[in-house]
Structure 1
Amino acid sequence: MSLPENSIKVRRSALGLTQQDVADRLGLTKSHVSHIEHGRRIVTDSQASVLAEMLGMPADLVLLSSGRLPKDVQGAIEADAAGVAAAIRARGQSHAISYPDAPLSAPTMAVCDELHHCYSDSDLPVVISASKATTSYRAHSYHTKVPPAAISPFIEAYSRPGDWVCDPFCGSGMTGVAALMAGRRALLSDLSPAAVHIARNYTTWCDPVALKSAFDEVEARVAPTMRWLYTALPTHEETIEYTTWSDVFVCSSCGEPIVYWDTASSLEGDRLRCPSCQASLRKGDLQWVGETPVQTQVSKGSNRIFSRAPTQGDLALIAEVDAAHIPYWIPEVSFGSDREMWRAGHRAMGIDHVHGFYSTRNLHALAALRHAIIETAQGRVREALFFAFTACVNRASKRYQWNAKRPTNVMTGTLYVSSLRYEWNVWSLFRRKFVDVLKYYKDFPRDAHTVEIFQHSATNLDCINSSSVDFVFMDPPFGSNIFYADSSLLWDSWLGTLTDQADEIVVNKHRPRNSGGKGIAEYGALMTSAFSEVGRILKPGGRSVLAFSNADDQVWSAVQDAISDAGLEVRAVHLLDKGQPSIKGVKGQLGKEHVTRLDLMLDLAHRRKPRQRKQIVPPDDFIEKSLEAAVSTGATRTDHIYSLVLRDALQADFAVTGITMPMIAKRLSKTSATSRKKAVAEYA
């Protein structure tokens, strides 16, 4: 959509200014101003600067409205100025950051020193507890993170200072953080561009002074755009901090619109009542027809935020921004039924591209901010600014679900768009996140070893020499728990490179096989390839730890087979308690899903004994004793007891087929009933 030729006129009128007021300020005739407002006369640089300040508009939009291209794209054919500006910037800015696909330096094959690497794990606790409340969590979110404190005990047990640690599923890079804390060198790789980007910035120092200087320059560049986007007329005193939006449906009974906000407080399960005809309607059956702002939170002269209903000025600003062309690069990535996380609700809302996850205002703000970062910074400083930028792109989207008490965070592991959602001020998000990033680099250990980060599939680590790594930590995808390629889609899109879904190790639920979907067999084969590579790069006597969690015995069986087929065996199993549970963990605790909040950490090594042709299912008395032992530890939650029983079976090298949370719950219920009958009999 091109910029309306009278946008300058609309802005002038909203401010209560006449053409003569503008003419006097510019030193032009009233007629000349009229021609400028209708795109028939271009403005000079000095005139554009005065108009931008006078009207509170970004200078780029003033230039485009008068038929001129911005300064950084001059020399192009000026047919459709706005479109040409965006196209030229797209060619140069779609890939603002790139990362290597192999380490710049890597360990060489070691001379056999098996005795040196046969460490004892007897001092490692059965349960590893680690908190998420660290700066490593605050700087940038990720779908799943094993806290560095949970990885450190294994690094210290199975390697020495200066040794090489590897993580082929590095995610956010927490293994690298733990390695730095322990004085080790690390190799981190991942299939996901977003993961590589996040891991790189978590494990590589950036000069805080240079970073703060670049931030100040970015702020100066984008300030006019941010003021325009988040300041409603006629006043310039209030800054819009965030706006609450509501879905609008059409009543299937009377045909009148239903603003979901007006009915949310009186929901009856999944049903709502039409305010017009009082019909009781199932929300899932209603037709989505649009969205509307219902509440605005603004700040005025301080950090204090207060709430009010949207004003005519708020609505006029939204309409003005919606009509304006975005003269910067934006991700043109399609989003359709070929994606695992696509739902019919996305189609109903018109979300068929990544940019559909954003309001026009926030899409414009993110594009302008990204452009300013690229124009301002190079090298490591640009990467660090992008680190703060990508930390905002999910929160700036329509995925930020409204909360009755206070804004919390975006739900990870899903691309769900709630019927009530926030539209945050992008600059406020970026400024706060930059403070976290700057603090992280100020506290970063300057004497740390180098961490090599590169983009590579875990199924083929040909860039790492055989028998060269001392310790490997792995936290691979947990079957169908999280689809990382889709969960990272917004991050990947703004970085300009997408995850290759063909190599993603997942079990698909919705994506059909003819579109690249994978079942248990494909998942197991890919896991086998990944584990085989781990076995290849490990030194003789080296150890690997696999962090894994799933409540599906078929997935666990596939993992067991993959470990064995790769020439590895389980030496010990530990439990990981990360404290605050994830959304899925909460659902598991509430009994809404069969999900455990605990991860198992399998201690793996090269196999010492021949592989059994077929693993033996644990006998009934083994399960019974394991249950009794679990209960004797004080465990009360079904998911906790399930994890303990599963640990015992894995450690004893039994097949885990048939060990499920429903089975454990049934056995516990049966045991409780027997105990109650016994107690009654003894009392009688």
Structure 2
Amino acid sequence: MTDYQSSLSGIEESESLFEDFGDDDLTPLLNDDDEWYPTPPQPLDKEVSRRNPIADMHIYWSKKPYEAIEHFVEQLSEEDDVVLDGCSGSGMTGVASIAQGRKFIGTDHSPAAVFLSQNVLAPITPTTLNQAYSELESAVKGRINDLYRVSCEDCGSQGTTNYVRWRHVYECKRCGNDVIATKDRKVSKATYSCDSCGADVSIGDDGKPIDRRPIEISYDCSCGSGRANQKEPTDRDKRLIEQANQRDIDYWTPDSELKLNSRIGVTNKQTVADLYTPRNLHAMALLRDEIQRFDSPIRELLMFCFTSICFNTTIMYQDREAGGGVTKGTLYQPPQYKENNVWNIFEGKVNYIRRGLEEKQDVMGNFDVWETARVFQDDVRDLSRLDESSVDYIFIDPPYGDQVPYSEINLVWTAWLEDSERFDDEIVITDSSEREEKQSEHQWQDAISETFEELYRVLKPGRWVTVTFNPGNMSLNAWEEFNRRIQDAGFLPYNGRYALDISQKTYKQLTESKAQKKDVIVNYYKLPTEAEEVEFETPPEETPQNIRELVETAIDNIVREGYQGEGVYTDQVFHAVLTVLTENNALEYRPDWEAILEEKYVCVEDQMGRDRWQPPDTTTEIDPTLNYYSEDLIARREIEQFLEEEEAATYTEIQEHLADNLASLPETSLGDILEDAFIKEYDRSDREHKWRMPETPEERARIERQREGQMESRIDSFVHTLREDEYIDETPPLEVLEYGTRYLLNEERHADALLLFDYIDIDELPEDMRDDVRRRQRICQTLADEDPSVEQNTQEDADDDGQQQKLEDLEDGTEN
């Protein structure tokens, strides 16, 4: 056995470092200060990135940027106060707290989350990691790479595989031939075509692969220039892969069973080990076995590096054109995946963790764990190790119903740590058929009540709890119940909504038009016992009389702005409604927003069977008596109908069709109209270019965004002309002006929007637009009247006391 301890004897970290995180003695952290903190926080006025060197050290689900958390920790607590996060997850609240000179207590239900939090917070130096990595590399790199041998096309000797691109193989039910799940055979997300008979082959729950085949290998060879080579696997390569897969694994491997749950991609009985190809399982087991030979805290540090690659080395690593990766929050195993060289992934992740350790030194400094932080595996509903009224501030990101079944997914890490998840006690709703006791929304709501009752118990009076959430598929009723349960626990909501504007989006947010890109934050206050009747003075002091109009406008904006050729999801509309309610002190208002959707908008089903909402005027019949329908718009609609019938047509064919069917031709050139709204392709059979309708969501979104950009530019130019009182050479068409009112309202340029209404004859608009335009006009007028910059120049040094909300009768004149 390698004696790593003697070779690493110069490290600075204490052997008890990780034991200190779990020490039950909380005396060094707690304090007796009972001062009230009545001043609410100011909103975060800058965009923050989800990506940073500390966050990049390890993947976790719904991770919040520590810089955003710092903003609230700094305002709602004082130096040396203790901050609690009862669902600590990846430990970002701890980073924010220690960075601001606070003490930190974190708890989490999952042993994997506790392990990650402790490692994220542990004050370990990059030098220590470098030393440990060097020792580990010498011991295992060659042994691991021996599993990834491949024949070099250039010199004939053996190179080292970087990755192999694999494809599932399915049996065609019609002819019995093999169908390989490659891009050129893809019909839809879950369907591929058979080359032999042309039949469609489903790969859904009932279509299980009969085989897996390698289609490409990326490799390095000493004879090359240092750049990776790609090639089709030869018979020799396939034999090398098979030989590696058949080797006996002489090391421990996890046998924990995954929970059946089709929503996260587990449809068959599998263990954690089944998520790996045989040789990747072998490599992972070998690497882990060598890490276990180190003593603490180096062992924990290297296992942190190890768990950071547990997902990217599985068959869940999708082979996508825009780059690979796993679908976060699921255990989905795609039909097209990459088998990555385990050592290469580990080496790359160590580099990320090294940068994270450097960032931690700058952000958190050097601190003593025993005097500063604790992280326990506890249920947030039972914080019995904490006394009543002992915590100064709480920041918590609780589980959102059925968003992420943490225990089911964290099991991949927990299994490799030789631990187990406590499925029965988790605060989630799950679709797992093996967890029927966790499928009730009412049970989840009761768990939320218990959570906040316990948080209320441990929080000092006159202090704050900040709750962040991004509820996804939660209904408005579910949010109302969630909010009510927090208030029933005793907390008073501060009805001002803040949002974390995160620049680095999740894959879902990047691929879904107008997805909810902000995590909503609500602050709650624990009133001092002697001030139970006191309420917040929150602006606006009363819910606006036009709250329904504000809600309707928010729905209209999200549907129209988020249309992008496909439509928005119902939960995206919910987020827009919730934003309006929280911004306007109207959390208790219950608009029937779903009825508004059904009455005013068009519901369509996308390729995955999900409902999407579109503006009604996308299908409105043309009324040529209305000025709204300019010659250009009429021509575009006529071309759309023509191409839907013909599928594709040449420029000349379209020109002749317009001449035969329109009373007058458009003023804009036909070429410009086609470029703005349609797709041009070369027809090889006819050897000429033809125009067609945009077909894919990406094409429709690109065309829609292109047209919107052109209209926005035209509106900006027109507003500038009006502002400068210049000669108006040409007024934009009504179609552009109507869009401009939505665009400017969304940009909060209310005074500019009012200028446009002077040029809009509402009676010349389609009937289904008129009420929306009138409502926009009223809202812009109201908001412009409230904006002092409309009547006079903004005073740079204006007194902002009206925006600094305080608690009535609690402010003692001292800023906290």
Q: What is the TM-score with the length of structure 2 in the denominator?
A: 0.64
Report what 2:423 is aligned to.
501
Alpha-carbon distance, 1:223 to partner: 2.7
Cα distance in 2, alignment partners of residues 136 and 195 from structure 1? 15
Alpha-carbon distance, 1:533 to partner: 1.6
User: What one-letter code is carried by the residue in structure 1 that aligns with 2:296?
Assistant: G
- 1:602-621 maps to which residues of 2 (within 5 A)? 602-607=522-527, 621=546
Report what 2:279 is aligned to.
361
C-alpha contact (below 8 Å) 2:288/2:306 kept by paired residues: yes
Alpha-carbon distance, 1:645 to partner: 3.6
| Pair 1:624–1:664, CA change in 2 (3 A) | farther
C-alpha contact (below 8 Å) 1:166/1:472 kept by paired residues: yes
- 1:123-202 maps to which residues of 2 (within 5 A)? 123-125=42-44, 129-202=47-120
Deviations for 1:330-381, whole angstroms, at most 9, x for unmatched residues? 101112437974543xx2xxx5111110000100000000001111x21111
Deviations for 1:188-247, whole angstroms, at most 9, x for unmatched residues? 111111111111111111133332222122112213321320123695541100001110
Could you tell which deviates more after superposition, 431-440 or 245-254? 431-440
**Alpha carbon RMSD of aligned pairs, Å?**
3.5
C-alpha contact (below 8 Å) 1:396/1:424 kept by paired residues: yes
* 2:449 aligned with 1:528: yes
C-alpha contact (below 8 Å) 1:114/1:541 kept by paired residues: yes
Deviations for 1:385-425, whole angstroms, at most 9, x for unmatched residues? 111111111000000001124x3321101111000000000
Alpha-carbon distance, 1:278 to partner: 2.6
Cα distance in 2, alignment partners of residues 229 and 325 from structure 1? 12
Alpha-carbon distance, 1:248 to partner: 0.9
Q: Which of 294, 304, 308 is equivalent to 1:387?
A: 304
* 2:508 aligned with 1:584: yes
* 2:216 aligned with 1:295: yes
Gaps of 5+ in 2: 3-17, 536-542, 563-567, 603-613, 618-627, 629-736, 740-756, 766-816
* 2:318 aligned with 1:397: no
Q: Which of 596, 599, 620 is equivalent to 2:519?
A: 599
* 2:176 aligned with 1:255: yes
Cα distance in 1, alignment partners of residues 399 and 58 from structure 2? 20
- 1:513-552 maps to which residues of 2 (within 5 A)? 515-550=436-471, 551-552=474-475
Report what 1:468 is aligned to.
390
Cα distance in 1, alignment partners of residues 591 and 764 from structure 2? 37
Q: Which of 172, 175, 187 is equivalent to 1:267?
A: 187
Cα distance in 2, alignment partners of residues 652 and 103 from structure 1? 42
Report what 2:608 is aligned to.
none
C-alpha contact (below 8 Å) 2:475/2:574 kept by paired residues: no
Q: Which structure has the greater CA radius of gyration?
A: 2
Report what 1:432 is aligned to.
348
C-alpha contact (below 8 Å) 2:114/2:376 kept by paired residues: yes
C-alpha contact (below 8 Å) 1:570/1:653 kept by paired residues: no
C-alpha contact (below 8 Å) 1:535/1:567 kept by paired residues: yes
Could you tell which deviates more after superposition, 223-232 or 561-570? 223-232
Report what 2:166 is aligned to.
245
Cα distance in 2, alignment partners of residues 380 and 656 from structure 1? 53
C-alpha contact (below 8 Å) 2:476/2:574 kept by paired residues: no
| Pair 1:479–1:463, CA change in 2 (3 A) | same
- 1:262-411 maps to which residues of 2 (within 5 A)? 264-267=184-187, 270-284=190-204, 286-301=207-222, 303-337=226-260, 341=264, 343-344=266-267, 347=268, 352-375=270-293, 377-405=294-322, 407-411=323-327
* 2:330 aligned with 1:414: yes
* 2:403 aligned with 1:481: yes
Identity within the alignment, %:
25
Cα distance in 1, alignment partners of residues 615 and 260 from structure 2? 46
Deviations for 1:101-136, whole angstroms, at most 9, x for unmatched residues? 665435677556343x22332x334x6631123102
Deviations for 1:40-78, whole angstroms, at most 9, x for unmatched residues? xxxxxxxxxxxxxxxxxxxxxxxxxxxxxxx79xxxxxx
User: What one-letter code is carried by the residue in structure 2 that aligns with 1:480?
Assistant: D
Report what 2:9 is aligned to.
none
| Pair 1:150–1:443, CA change in 2 (3 A) | closer
Aligned positions, number: 569
Alpha-carbon distance, 1:623 to partner: 2.6
User: What one-letter code is carried by the residue in structure 1 that aligns with 2:71?
Assistant: P
User: What one-letter code is carried by the residue in structure 2 that aligns with 1:623?
Assistant: R
Cα distance in 1, alignment partners of residues 179 and 185 from structure 2? 14
- 1:438-449 maps to which residues of 2 (within 5 A)? 438-445=354-361, 446-448=365-367
Alpha-carbon distance, 1:621 to partner: 4.1
C-alpha contact (below 8 Å) 1:139/1:440 kept by paired residues: yes
* 2:477 aligned with 1:554: yes
Alpha-carbon distance, 1:568 to partner: 0.9
Cα distance in 2, alignment partners of residues 313 and 505 from structure 1? 51
Cα distance in 2, alignment partners of residues 307 and 237 from structure 1? 14
Cα distance in 2, alignment partners of residues 108 and 201 from structure 1? 19
* 2:578 aligned with 1:646: yes
Cα distance in 1, alignment partners of residues 250 and 440 from structure 2? 43
Q: Which of 473, 481, 487 is equivalent to 1:564?
A: 487
C-alpha contact (below 8 Å) 1:321/1:361 kept by paired residues: yes
| Pair 1:292–1:99, CA change in 2 (3 A) | farther
Cα distance in 1, alignment partners of residues 55 and 238 from structure 2? 37
| Pair 1:404–1:549, CA change in 2 (3 A) | closer
Q: Secondary structure at the match of 1:332?
A: coil
User: What one-letter code is carried by the residue in structure 2 that aligns with 1:577?
Assistant: D
Alpha-carbon distance, 1:495 to partner: 1.1
| Pair 1:120–1:168, CA change in 2 (3 A) | same
C-alpha contact (below 8 Å) 1:104/1:452 kept by paired residues: no
| Pair 1:248–1:632, CA change in 2 (3 A) | closer
* 2:553 aligned with 1:623: no
Q: Secondary structure at the match of 1:186?
A: strand
Could you tell which deviates more after superposition, 486-495 or 229-238? 229-238
C-alpha contact (below 8 Å) 1:400/1:410 kept by paired residues: yes
- 1:78-117 maps to which residues of 2 (within 5 A)? 103-106=24-27, 111=32, 113-115=34-36, 117=37
Deviations for 1:522-564, whole angstroms, at most 9, x for unmatched residues? 1111111111121111111111100012242232133112202
C-alpha contact (below 8 Å) 2:292/2:299 kept by paired residues: yes
Cα distance in 2, alignment partners of residues 566 and 294 from structure 1? 58
Cα distance in 1, alignment partners of residues 544 and 237 from structure 2? 68
| Pair 1:202–1:287, CA change in 2 (3 A) | closer
Alpha-carbon distance, 1:160 to partner: 1.3
Cα distance in 1, alignment partners of residues 170 and 46 from structure 2? 48
Q: What is the TM-score with the length of structure 1 in the denominator?
A: 0.75
C-alpha contact (below 8 Å) 1:166/1:471 kept by paired residues: yes
Cα distance in 2, alignment partners of residues 325 and 99 from structure 1? 39
User: What one-letter code is carried by the residue in structure 2 that aligns with 1:318?
Assistant: I
